Structure formats: C-alpha cells, structure tokens
Amino acid sequence: MTPDPTAGHPSAQLDEVVHQRARLGILVVLAEAGTAEFTYLATRLGLTNGNLNRHLAVLEAAGLVEVDKRFEGRRPKTWLSMTPAGRGALRREVATLRAIVDGVALP
Amino acid sequence: MTPDPTAGHPSAQLDEVVHQRARLGILVVLAEAGTAEFTYLATRLGLTNGNLNRHLAVLEAAGLVEVDKRFEGRRPKTWLSMTPAGRGALRREVATLRAIVDGVALP
C-alpha cells in the first residue's frame, strides 16, 4: 500500500532546536539529572566547552533551559536545568521519535 | 545513582548526516518505499525541491542514497533509492534513537 503523500511524515514534526544531536543529549541528561553542572554535562556528552556553550545558548533563547551562574568559594560554576517548556518539548520529541522508529521497516 | 560521566551518552553516537530531520525522513521513506520519485519524496516530507535537493546531495556524497535521473517520455524524472550503506546507517540511527528514548525519564 502506498501511503498518502499529503498526510505528511512524522519527521516533518521534528523541531531542530530539540532534535539536533547535542541539544537532544543535553535535554535527555537534564531530564534524568534534574540539574547538572556545566563540566559534568560536557564530559557526559563528549562536547567541548565551546560547543556546549553554543548549544546551551540556543536552548536558553528558546526558553527550554535555565542557566544559573554561581560562585562556589572563588570558583564560578554554571548550573543548568530544564524549564517546564523544555520538558514539554522533550516529551514531544520523544513521542515523534517513537512514531518514526516504530514505523521503520528494515529487512 | 549518578551515571558514570566518562561512559558517554548515546546521543554522542548520533551521526548528523543521518540524524538531521529531513535526511532522517528521506531514509525512513526510502526504507519503506524501496525506490521513490523526487516529487513524491518532496510532498511526503513537506520539503521544497531546493531543500530536498540539498539534503539528497549530502546523502549521495556519503554514499547512502543513489540518484537515478531518467527521461519518461519527454519528462525528466529523478528516482532515489537507498544503498546498502544507507540501510546500515539507518539501522544504527534507529538503534541509537531507541536507546535514547528508552532512557528518557519524564515524570
């Protein structure tokens, strides 16, 4: 059976703000950790500091992640946490990914 | 339990050549359709011709998709199909996506 082409494909519903590899990783780790420190995130995701900073800026601008810079003693530390909007966006991404992978037919 | 940060996160294994929204859609549709005509793909994925062309060029350069231009009567038609390497790349992407979504804890 040929699918109706006008029905659209679930991949068209993916949002690159959330779908992009590093940003998806950031949101997934924050969903499990609640709050995470910058250095932990960078190590966990195998990202350079510059790369992580760049992706956090995109997520912060979209209102999906909150950035909290604090001093602990003399050392500045950056804490990241997910906003309710971030949680909703990740939930939608995961639902769409499930629809995509469940539909893949690979002999 | 805090995960071992040096163990890496599955998102680090995603390959942007395959993971990018439109290219993932192209490969998934080709996996189900075997071979697809350019216009069908564009409609199915909600992509402009220019956008689809750009992403097909990336997939073709990576050896994941084969492009076959033929005339049918006087009309040129472009047929796309997935190579064995494309099939393998999609299989890896789907396995990694499953590992990611199965690990997402959203209250």
pLDDT tens-digit series, residues A53-90 = 999 999 999 999 999 999 988 889 999 999 999 999 99
- Residue B15: its pLDDT value, please? 95
| Domain count for chain B | 1
CATH number of the domain that residue B21 is part of? 1.10.10.10
Assess if residue A3 is contained within a domain. no
Strands (E), chain B: 35-37, 65-72, 75-82
Assess if residue A35 is contained within a domain. yes
Assess if residue B47 is contained within a domain. yes
Q: What is the pLDDT of residues A4-37, one digit of tens each?
A: 665 679 999 999 999 999 999 999 999 988 899 9
Please tell me whether residue A85 adopts helix, strand or coil conformation.
helix
- Give me the domain span that covers residue B20: 15-99
Assess if residue A8 is contained within a domain. no
- Residue A2: its pLDDT value, please? 56
Assess if residue B104 is contained within a domain. no
Rounded to whole angstroms, how far apart are CA atoms A18 and B21?
11
Residue whose entry in the numeric block shows the structure tokens 């999906």: A64
B46/A12 touch (CB, cutoff 8 Å), yes or no: yes
Assess if residue A6 is contained within a domain. no
pLDDT at B18 over 80: yes
CA distances from B49 to A2, A106, B78 (A): 21, 26, 12
Percent of chain B with pLDDT over 70: 93
Q: Which pTM value belongs to this model?
A: 0.90
**B36: number of CA atoms within 13 Å, CB side?**
26
B19/A14 touch (CB, cutoff 8 Å), yes or no: no
Name the DSSP class of A48: -
Chain A residues touching chain B at CB-CB below 8 Å: 2-3, 5-6, 8-9, 11-12, 14, 16, 19-22, 24-25, 28-29, 31-33, 40, 43-46, 87, 90-91, 94, 97-98, 100-101, 103-106
Q: Where does the pLDDT of residue B87 fall: very low under 50, low under 70, confident under 90, or very high at 90 and above?
A: very high
Kindly report the number of other CB atoms within 10 A of residue B96's CB atom. 20
Average pLDDT over chain B, rounded to whole?
92
Q: What is the pLDDT of residues B44-60, one digit of tens each?
A: 999 999 999 999 999 99
> Could you tell me the two tokens for A22?
């590093």
Assess if residue A84 is contained within a domain. yes
Q: Where does the pLDDT of residue B103 fall: very low under 50, low under 70, confident under 90, or very high at 90 and above?
A: confident
Distance, CA of A18 to chain centre: 5
Q: Tell me the ipTM for this assembly.
A: 0.87
Rounded to whole angstroms, how far apart are CA atoms A4 and A1?
9
Assess if residue A107 is contained within a domain. no
Rounded to whole angstroms, how far apart are CA atoms B80 and B86?
12
